[in-house]
């Protein structure tokens, strides 16, 4: 026979309350706990990335000497898959300078601000293509040469002192040789764009230089 859990008096199994103290004899079920899982945080905003190969390295100020002291200007661009070599024309440079001037003017900059914007474009022409895709660049410069990184066997960058015509002292010059299957692309520069040090990453073990960045 069961007993009242409150006073110990004997009770019947059919009793709902103790006849002695009146306590309830039917156990009260504990409330079911509800597991409230907090909703996951909203995903952080990720800006859209351009489709295709993206240009991650831009190098300006290289040239190939021609006869009678003339030269052709070049820029070097790199994605994670390809090296791109593009020759500059006067029209390309002039258009870029004009765009820089108009952009500075639209920002309310005066003569000196516009002049500084033009100089920036002239000294680092390649920088404007950083973040472009390879396809965008080729649409802009269709004659650019595309070389897969895997085809580059070695890149040499050397600093040399050379006596120039009309000068009484030697000047520093930087010579760049890009070795590929079947030939070598050679360039030189009097002002080194230090962004070329990124070639250490593009050509691990294949980039040789005596230049201290």
Tens digit of pLDDT for each residue in 54-96?
Answer: 999 999 989 998 777 778 999 999 999 999 999 987 776 666 6
Look at residue 43 and give its three-state secondary structure: coil
Q: Which of 32, 30, 7, 4 is nearest to 16 (CA)?
A: 4
Q: Which domain holds residue 24?
A: 1-28
Q: Residue 39 falls within a domain, yes or no?
A: no
Same domain, yes or no: 15 and 107: no
- State how many domains the chain has: 2
The predicted-structure confidence for 114-146, as pLDDT tens digits, reads as follows 556 555 555 678 888 999 999 999 999 999 999
Residue 45 resides in a domain: no
In a domain, 49, yes or no: no
Count the residues in the chain: 213
Q: Are residues 135 and 93 in the same domain?
A: yes
> Would you call 195 helix, strand, or coil by DSSP?
helix
Same domain, 101 and 191: yes
pTM above threshold 0.75: no
Structure-model confidence comparison of residues 9 and 194, the more confident one: 194
Assess whether 102 and 17 both reside in one domain.
Answer: no
Distance of CA 3 to the CA centre of its chain: 79
* Alpha-carbon torsion (42, 48, 53, 56), positive or negative: negative
Position 165 confidence tier, pLDDT thresholds 50, 70, 90: low
Same domain, 17 and 68: no
DSSP labels for 101-155?
HHHHHHTT--HHHHHHHHHHHHHTGGGGGTT-BHHHHHHH-TT-EEEEGGGEEEE
End-to-end CA distance of the chain: 95
Q: Are 22 and 83 found together in one domain?
A: no
Beta-carbon neighbour count of residue 174 at 10 Å?
20
Q: Are residues 200 and 161 in the same domain?
A: yes
50 in a domain, yes or no?
no
- Structure tokens, 99: 């765009």
Closest to 87 (Cα-Cα) out of 180, 160, 185, 156: 185
Nearest to 75 by CA among 58, 51, 90: 58
Per-residue pLDDT tens over the stretch 96-110: 666 656 666 777 777
């Amino acid at each position: 026979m069961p007993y009242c859990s409150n006073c110990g008096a004997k009770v019947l199994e059919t009793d709902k309350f103790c006849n002695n103290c009146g306590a309830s004899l039917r156990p009260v079920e504990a409330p079911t706990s509800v597991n409230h899982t907090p909703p996951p945080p909203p995903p952080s905003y990720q800006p859209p990335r351009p489709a295709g190969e993206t240009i991650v390295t831009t190098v300006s100020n290289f040239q190939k000497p021609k006869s009678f002291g003339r030269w052709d200007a070049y820029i070097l661009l790199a994605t994670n898959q390809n090296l791109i070599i593009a020759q500059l024309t006067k029209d390309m440079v002039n258009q870029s300078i004009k765009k820089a001037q108009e952009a500075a003017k639209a920002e309310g900059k005066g003569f000196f601000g516009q002049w500084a914007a033009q100089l920036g474009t002239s000294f680092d022409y390649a920088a404007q293509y950083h973040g472009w895709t390879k396809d965008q660049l080729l649409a802009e410069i269709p004659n650019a040469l595309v070389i897969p990184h895997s085809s580059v066997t070695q890149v040499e960058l050397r600093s040399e002192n050379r006596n120039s015509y009309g000068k009484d002292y030697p000047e520093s010059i930087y010579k760049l040789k890009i070795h590929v299957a079947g030939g070598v692309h050679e360039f030189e520069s009097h002002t080194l764009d230090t962004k070329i040090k990124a070639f250490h990453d593009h050509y691990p073990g294949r980039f040789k230089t005596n230049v201290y960045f």
